[in-house]
Amino acid sequence: MPALTWFGHLALLGALVAMAPERAAASPPDLFGFGSRSPAMAGTGAAFADDNEATFVNPAGLARARQRGLTFGLQGGGYRLELDGERLPLAPVKANIIGGTIPLPFGGVMEDRLTLGLGFYTPLDIVLVGDIGYADVPRAIVLDRAQSLAIQFGLGVDLHGLVDGLRIGAGVTALGSFAGSILAGIDATGKFGSVVETQVIATFAPIVGASYDVGDFSFGAVWHGELRSDFVFRITTRDLPLTVPILTIGGIAQYDPQTFVLEASWRPLPALRVVAGASYALWSDYPGPLIATSRGSPQPPAVNFTNTITPRIAGEYTLRTGRAAILLRAGYAYVPTPAPPARAEARYLDNDRHLVTGGAGLDLTLGDDGARLLVDAYLSTSLLASRTHDAPAEGRTTNMESSGFVVVGGGSVGVAW
């Protein structure tokens, strides 16, 4: 078979990998929050979380939990993103959420000090989605990050007796990364063939936090380490009539920037909690979604992301009657985009977002032993500020304009005992 045909086979093989429906998209909790209470309050919780949601928002808050807890929930939503007045399709959000808390039953000086927490975010139909797209094809590079399994583990420590009101905690968030290889060549029968091997490898990022309660005030500080999920396929050849360099197909499927959070909570009334805080995300460390195909190929265009500060405010009001407490929640956050306007060589689309959230909860005491039934629900809407970019879409003469909104909601049922 002519050498050109061999090269054609290899090109087709690479194209199949690049276009495979493994669209690698940062962790969904970073985008939409984890659980039902924190998302209803614009992603706050670093100062006051006291259940499995603390595993993500601030592991120190786990130490407030004095009961074992187990929660099951669902999250779902969709995008309405528009580019030049036309719909830009993105996969909808569909996931299960499971969380739990386990106070460790030590006695003596260790009594009521240590609590373990865990959380699982599991998309309903995939484990990880990866997308290798051309840099000059418009794509929502920040928002399209909700298609992956995410796991959190944490430990909270209460320092009562040493520094009353002070708690510290640490945990990890885990994502999956793809690694694979393709060996293409001529087999013993003289036919062209290939062998494909893939594996999923866990990647981890630390979460470290502290919280302090004094009177009607609570304060929280958290550091989230950088979390990235890579997917890389190496294509090598053997026994071909021409030399083909090693090709690498892949990039970064998911990316959460290193983030610092400061938050304060105040209870001006026993039934009312008011929360304010901000997060600082080091998006300037993001290398971009693509990698070079070979040593001699040009580097993908730089994304030129900048660091961002996201302010958040929220409130929670509690109505009590008998054994039941009804909780009403609301919040707002301004989420600035880290991305510059899209340009011809890098049509990466993103917009500033106005995040408006609301929700409600029921906390019902079931018996004299203190067992509780917990039911929560929330709705979150991100309104994308209209933005004009620095390049037209293909086939057009005017610069691209992007806008739209994202709606995500969810609910959970849990018990504590």
The percentage of the chain sitting over the pLDDT mark of 90, rounded to a whole number, equals 56
Burial of 188 (0-12, 13-18, 19+ CB in 10 A): exposed
pLDDT category, 189, cuts 50, 70, 90? confident
On the CB side of 66, CA atoms within 13 Å amount to 4
Residue 291 and residue 303: Cα distance in Å, rounded? 12
Among 117-126, 153-162, 323-332, 360-369, the minimum mean pLDDT is found in: 117-126
* pLDDT (0 to 100) of residue 341: 95
Q: Are 45 and 60 in contact, with CB atoms under 8 Å apart?
A: no
What is the average pLDDT value for the chain, to the nearest integer?
Answer: 86
Whether the per-residue pLDDT at 23 is higher than 70: the answer is no
- Within 8 A by CB and 6+ apart from 239, the residues are 185, 186
What are 333-357's pLDDT values in tens digits? 999 999 999 998 888 899 999 999 9
Region 235-261: mean pLDDT is 80
* pLDDT (0 to 100) of residue 14: 44
What are 49-98's pLDDT values in tens digits? 999 999 999 999 999 999 999 999 999 998 899 999 889 888 788 889 99
* pLDDT (0 to 100) of residue 15: 40
Residue extents of the structural domains in the chain? 3-79+92-306
